[in-house]
Amino acid sequence: MPANKVIGTDILTGTGNRHLVNLISDKSKDDQTPSLNMQIHQKVLEPFMALKAAAAIEGFDLCICSAYRSFDRQRVIWNDKLAGLRPVLDQFSNPIDLSQLDDWQKIQAVLRWSALPGASRHHWGTDFDIYDAGAMIADYQIQLVPEECKGTGVFAPMHGWLNSMLSSSKKDFYGFYRPYAVDRGGVAPEPWHLSYRPIADGYAEQLSASIIIQQLLHDGKLMYLDTVIAHIDEIMERFVKL
Ligand SMILES: [Zn+2]
């Protein structure tokens, strides 16, 4: 691979922000929607705006509720879940009692919904979670659970439209696809999670177990770090490499 294609490990592991731009919301300043104050990859802004415009023609207000996430932020989520400060959900979106599980089982339960810090696709700025702001009633709390995206779910119409766009086009839709579309026994299906393939594929290819472990050891604050390192190959296989 040519040297100029090598991606910095800071970008791969969520410890740098030089690849990011602010996501400018088209809402008014007073509007406290989650789309404000978020960052995405500089090369993803334009394709995202094209996707958003295509959705608007169909009557959907396609917005992002989570875009770039730093390593530190992901570590807080990870540690909170393993410390019982945030719920860990099962496949039916019900809370799991972690006290009944051993360390490795706890880690696998967390990994089903939350990435290992250093290995989250949200670190790259190429991936984000979407919702339809136009479909929500006032005070609606976005949950990002499968039930919202199918059947009579609040975001089902937008995801139905996206399904048809993704299946009818030979290529990805404006470069976007769903990396967690199907359940392979690792990460749960996340229809709301979109990825910009032209950039993300190269990042995925270069992210390795050794890069992740190097960052985790450098940080030193991850709960169950020893167990993670002992199982890193399986974690890569089941939860990182798609
Ligand atoms: Zn996501």
Contact between 226 and 216 under an 8 Å Cβ cutoff? The reply is: no
Q: What is the pLDDT of residues 174-197, one digit of tens each?
A: 999 999 988 877 888 899 999 999
Distance 2 CA to ligand 1 centre (A): 30
Q: What is the pLDDT of residues 118-171, one digit of tens each?
A: 999 999 999 999 999 999 999 999 999 889 999 999 999 999 999 999 988 767
Cα–Cα distance measured from residue 97 to residue 102, given in angstroms and rounded to the nearest whole number? 11
Contact between 103 and 224 under an 8 Å Cβ cutoff? The reply is: yes
Contact between 24 and 37 under an 8 Å Cβ cutoff? The reply is: no
Distance 34 CA to ligand 1 centre (A): 14
Contact between 74 and 113 under an 8 Å Cβ cutoff? The reply is: no
In the 8-state DSSP scheme, what is residue 102? -
Distance 199 CA to ligand 1 centre (A): 16
The domains of the chain, with CATH numbers, are 3-240 (3.30.1380.10)
Contact between 90 and 214 under an 8 Å Cβ cutoff? The reply is: no
Distance 102 CA to ligand 1 centre (A): 26
Distance 218 CA to ligand 1 centre (A): 25
Q: What is the mean pLDDT of the chain?
A: 91
